[in-house]
Structure 1
Amino acid sequence: MQSIPRDVATFAGLRQAMTRITVDTTGRGTQDITSRVDQWLTQAGAADGLLTVFIRHTSASLVVTENTDPDVRHDLVDALDRLAPVNMPYRHDLEGLDDMPAHIKTALTSVSVAIPVVGGRMDFGTWQGLFVVEHRLRGHPRRLTLHYLGT
């Protein structure tokens, strides 16, 4: 998991910081990146502002969901599998049977999230966390861009 730091710039009292990180997934499922993103916010000197997280892929996505009971995340992945099963006759299968279902699942979720930052941390509720969802059966290195704008 590599982080590529970007310079922090200041514009009219606002600070801006950007980085790219890589998240190595292990295959179909979710991976909590909340603490890693919070650590970057601390390193960037974030106080109050807005964080945008963008995943640079069409077969993995981002979700804000329950961070306490892992059954929630397993049920989410299972529900997406029911909506876009592998065993359908898709036209697009260049990278295998799980290729097109992964694209559909990404389209149903999100590749970008905007999260308020308060006191240098993502302003999540008690049970919320930020997760990468790997829609492919095999793990992949997933590249994300993080952008912070605030004080």
Structure 2
Amino acid sequence: MEVFTYDLKVPSNSSPEFIDITDEVADFLKGSGISSGILVVFSRHTTSAIVIQENEPLLLEDFKDMLERASSKDASYRHNDFDVRTVHMHENECPNGHSHCQHLVLGSSETIPIIEGKMSLGEWQRIFMVELDGMKGEMVGSREVVVQIVGLA
């Protein structure tokens, strides 16, 4: 049994933004030489998510609309009340309660079986890092995704 861990930096420009990282993950798998096992893709952020979905442009726009309906930027969030909130604050904190709530719906990771050296994804399935917090200024563009591969060569 072997374990390989890769760090992937994913640039982002807006929110919400669906960024297809399937090819990068496939390259990591190929480089590992693992033929049978599992692969985990994990976001190290509470305002960016990992999902498996179809990369169809109109569907991605529908997803963005759904996220906005589920947790609108314009709604009221206690997390955004900087007069009351006292923990987990940065100097340049921005109101991003909606981003955290959207992340709750999507999640931090996906697990994919490895069969005969390839990810066992369906015909239309792709791996996305979803940027949910385009308000962070300098932090957007520096998202960290961890890819861990466990298996047999």
Q: TM-score range by the shorter chain?
A: 0.7 to 0.9
CA distance in 2, matches of 1:119, 1:35: 17
CA distance in 1, matches of 2:118, 2:26: 6
CA distance in 2, matches of 1:53, 1:109: 13
Q: What letter is aligned with 1:49?
A: G
Percent sequence identity over aligned pairs: 29
Higher relative contact order (CA 8 A, sep 6+): 2
**What TM-score comes out, normalization by structure 1 length?**
0.85
Q: Verify: 1:79 aligned to 2:47, yes or no.
A: no
Question: Which structure carries more helix by proportion?
Answer: 2
What is the Cα-based RMSD across aligned positions, in Å? 1.3
2:94 alignment counterpart: 96
1:10 alignment counterpart: none
1:44 alignment counterpart: 32
CA distance in 2, matches of 1:24, 1:37: 15
Query: What is the Cα deviation at residue 140 of structure 1?
Result: 3.0
Name which of 117, 120, 124 aligns with 2:121.
124
CA distance in 2, matches of 1:26, 1:120: 33
Query: What is the Cα deviation at residue 119 of structure 1?
Result: 2.1
Q: What letter is aligned with 1:41?
A: L
Query: What is the Cα deviation at residue 44 of structure 1?
Result: 1.1
Q: Which moved more, 1:70-79 or 1:32-41?
A: 70-79
Segments of 5+ residues of structure 1 without an aligned counterpart are 1-13
Question: Which structure carries more strand by proportion?
Answer: 1
2:9 alignment counterpart: 22
> Are the counterparts in 2 of residues 27 and 140 from structure 1 also a CA contact under 8 Å?
no
SS at 1:42 equivalent: helix
Pairs aligned (count): 136
Q: What letter is aligned with 1:143?
A: E
SS at 2:73 equivalent: coil
**What TM-score comes out, normalization by structure 2 length?**
0.84
SS at 1:136 equivalent: coil
Cα offsets for 1:2-27 (capped at 9, x unmatched) = xxxxxxxxxxxx22111211111111
Segments of 5+ residues of structure 2 without an aligned counterpart are 83-92
Cα offsets for 1:13-70 (capped at 9, x unmatched) = x221112111111111100000000001111112111001110001110110002x21
